[in-house]
Chains A and B, each alone.
Chain A
Amino acid sequence: MNTPQVSTEQALKPLALKRKPHQLHSATLRWWLLGPALLLIGATVIYPMVSSFITSFRDWRLINSPDPGPFVGVQNYARAFTDRGFLNSLRVSGLYTLISVGLTLFLGLGMALLLSKPTKLNTFTRALLIFPFAVTPVLKGFSWKFMLNPEYGVYAQMVGALIPSLKGYLWLGHDFSALFVIALSEVWGWSPLFALMFIGALGSIPPETTEAAKMDGATGLQIFWKITLPLLAPVIYIVALLKTISAFKMFDQVTIMTGGGPGDSTQTLYYHVYQLAFRNLDLGYASAVSYLLVALMAAIAFFYVRTLLSPKER
Chain B
Amino acid sequence: MLNARLQRQLGQGAEVIATLLVIFFVMFPLVWIGLASLKNPVDVYSTRVFFQATLDNYSAIFGPRIRLQSNIFISALVAFLTVAITVPVGAAAAYVLSRHRFRGRESLSLLILITQFVPAVVVAIPYFVLFRSLGMIDTPIALVIVYLSFTLPYAIWMLRGFFDALPVEVEEASFIDGCNELQTLRYVTVPLVMPGILVSAVFAFISAWNEFFFALILTRSNTVTLPISIMNITGVRGPQWEQLSAAGMVVMIPILVMSLFIRKYFVEGITVGAVK
Contacts and interface: CB of A to CB of B under 8 A. Distances in A.
B126 A22 contact: no
Contacts of B153: 41, 45
Interface string B214-248: 00110000000011001100000001010011001
A298 B230 contact: no
A144 to B, nearest CB: 7
Contact of B115 (A45, A196, A309, A313): A45
B19 A270 contact: no
Interface string B241-257: 10011001001100110
Interface residues of A, number: 96
Contacts of A278: 124, 128, 217
Contacts, number: 267
Interface residues of B, number: 97
A301 B101 contact: no
Given A48-B122, A125-B22, A314-B276, A131 B30 contact: yes
Given A143-B248, A252-B212, A298-B117, A25 B47 contact: no
Given A36-B89, A55-B126, A293-B119, A143 B275 contact: no
Nearest to B202: A134
A251 B145 contact: no
B120 interface: yes
Contacts of B260: 130
B152 interface: yes
Overall SS of chain B's interface: helix
A154 B267 contact: no
B248 to A, nearest CB: 5
Interface stretch (A27-35, A73-81, A165-173): A27-35
Given A30-B96, A136-B252, A242-B274, A255 B212 contact: yes
A106 interface: no
Contact of B114 (A26, A43, A305): A305
A49 B23 contact: no
B121 A130 contact: no
A23 to B, nearest CB: 8
A56 to B, nearest CB: 9
B266 A21 contact: no
B218 to A, nearest CB: 10
Nearest to B145: A44
A16 B169 CA distance: 11
Given A25-B181, A115-B22, A249-B120, A132 B29 contact: yes
B122 A290 contact: yes
Contacts of A30: 96, 100, 102
B4 interface: no
B252 A52 contact: no
Interface stretch (B54-62, B64-72, B171-179): B171-179
Nearest to A287: B125
Interface in A242-276: 242, 245, 249, 251-252, 255-256, 270, 273-274
Interface stretch (A3-11, A94-102, A145-153, A222-230): A145-153
B125 A52 contact: yes
A122 interface: yes
A294 B118 contact: yes
B74 interface: no
A209 B89 CA distance: 46
- Shortest beta-carbon contacts, A-B, top 7: A37-B93, A44-B149, A51-B126, A33-B92, A301-B117, A48-B126, A138-B227
Given A22-B101, A33-B92, A125-B19, 4 more contacts: A22-B99, A33-B93, A48-B122, A114-B18
Interface of B: 15-16, 18-19, 22-23, 25-27, 29-30, 32-33, 36, 44-47, 85, 89-90, 92-93, 95-97, 99-102, 110, 112-115, 117-129, 132-133, 145-146, 148-149, 152-153, 156, 168, 171-172, 175-176, 180-182, 206, 209-210, 212-213, 216-217, 226-227, 230-231, 239, 241, 244-245, 248, 251-252, 255-256, 258-260, 263, 266-267, 270-271, 273-276
12 contacts: A25-B99, A25-B100, A34-B93, A34-B97, A36-B93, A41-B112, A125-B19, A131-B256, A136-B252, A239-B275, A252-B212, A274-B213
